Amino acid sequence: MQLTVVLPVITDAFTEEVRREVGAWVSPGTEVEVRRIARGTASIESEYDEALAAPGILDAVREAAAEGADAVFVSCFGDPGVQAAREIVDIPVVGGFEPAVLTSLALGEHTGVITVLPNVLPMLHALVRRYALTGRVGPIRVVDIPVLDLDTGDRLIDALTEQAPGRGGGAGGGRDRARLHRDAGRGRGPPGAPGRRGPLRPCRRPHGGCDHVAGVAGAARGAAQPYHVPPAPAEGPHRLTTVSLPVRLAHDPGVAPWPSTSPRSARTCPP
């Protein structure tokens, strides 16, 4: 498989870092190409920036598809140009927001986001509405640090601590989120990857093109309200039993209907 990562910026400052991180996460045998856009902006922090970057993103996606890419990841939490890119190529195209937030919501009922500047709040709220997630994505807060000034130093850690309080308003949870971000910025990776520490959590980088802080709290297990673990089945004659059955599809001409002793003698799964 060939994966192309499109950095929607005109600087090479993030290229090697993104290449290293993506290479640590992809499946064995996946070829990774990282390319930046030829025209656009140095970062995306507003609707105006996104509009200027969109033509370059579309050019890069079209070129990647023509050169044999099997999928494209636009490395920006704002999903710039993603919907338009899906109209011009016949391969999967995803951005940073949709997969990160949906992964987060697979781990808990609700999630929150910490992003860079107030300028991007309307953009992220619009994405929440677009993906019909209004009832599940909670507060979206900012650290008030531009994308190009993000790092993994104390300034960012302090800002995350301030903006990511624990459930119920406790500060301890905020420090936990900040430590999670610090791990994300210093060698975080899949199990066995060099420099990886601590348990595996889905976590996005605070930088790398435009993959800013927003994904860190949004996609991390610690930022989501976890699902409750169901109680163990009761012992005895009424103990619950799980039975696995094969699935037969009615539209498969080579599969006979399910036998049944009920008046409905031909039961099939719906197509």
Band (pLDDT 50/70/90 cuts) for residue 125 is very high
Structural domain containing residue 208 = 2-223
Helices (H) and strands (E) in the chain, counts: 8, 6
Q: What value does the mean pLDDT take over residues 159-178?
A: 55
Neighbour tally for 156: CB within 10 Å: 22
Q: What value does the mean pLDDT take over residues 237-266?
A: 47
User: How do residues 154-164 score in pLDDT, each as one tens digit?
Assistant: 888 888 888 87
167 is a domain residue: yes
Q: What is the C-alpha to C-alpha distance for residues 188 and 205, in angstroms, rounded to an integer? A: 9
Q: What is the C-alpha to C-alpha distance for residues 196 and 189, in angstroms, rounded to an integer? A: 5
User: How do residues 87-116 score in pLDDT, each as one tens digit?
Assistant: 999 999 999 999 999 999 999 999 999 999
Q: Please tell me whether the overall predicted TM-score, pTM, comes out greater than 0.85 for this model.
A: no
266 is a domain residue: no
247 is a domain residue: no
3-state secondary structure of 153: coil
Q: What residues contact 70, with CB distance under 8 A and at least 6 apart? A: 1, 2, 3, 91, 92
268 is a domain residue: no
What the block records as the tokens of 246 is: 């094969």
Neighbour tally for 131: CB within 10 Å: 15
217 is a domain residue: yes
Band (pLDDT 50/70/90 cuts) for residue 181 is very low
What pLDDT score does 215 carry? 35
Provide the CATH number for the domain around residue 45: 3.40.50.12500
245 is a domain residue: no
User: How do residues 188-204 score in pLDDT, each as one tens digit?
Assistant: 444 444 444 443 343 33
Residue 109 phi/psi, 5-degree rounding, is -75, -35
99 to 73, 78, 126: CA distances (angstroms): 10, 11, 16
Q: What is the C-alpha to C-alpha distance for residues 155 and 172, in angstroms, rounded to an integer? A: 18
Q: What residues contact 246, with CB distance under 8 A and at least 6 apart? A: none
For 26-35, 40-49, 87-96, 162-171, which range has the lowest pLDDT when averaged over its residues?
A: 162-171
What pLDDT score does 248 carry? 46
Q: What value does the mean pLDDT take over residues 127-153?
A: 90
79 is a domain residue: yes
The total number of structural domains in the chain stands at 1
Residue pair 76/44 in contact (Cβ under 8 Å)? The answer is yes
Please determine, for residue 31, whether its predicted confidence score (pLDDT) is greater than 70. Answer: yes
What pLDDT score does 61 carry? 98
Neighbour tally for 136: CB within 10 Å: 18
The whole-chain average pLDDT of the chain stands at 74
236 is a domain residue: no
Please determine, for residue 14, whether its predicted confidence score (pLDDT) is greater than 80. Answer: yes
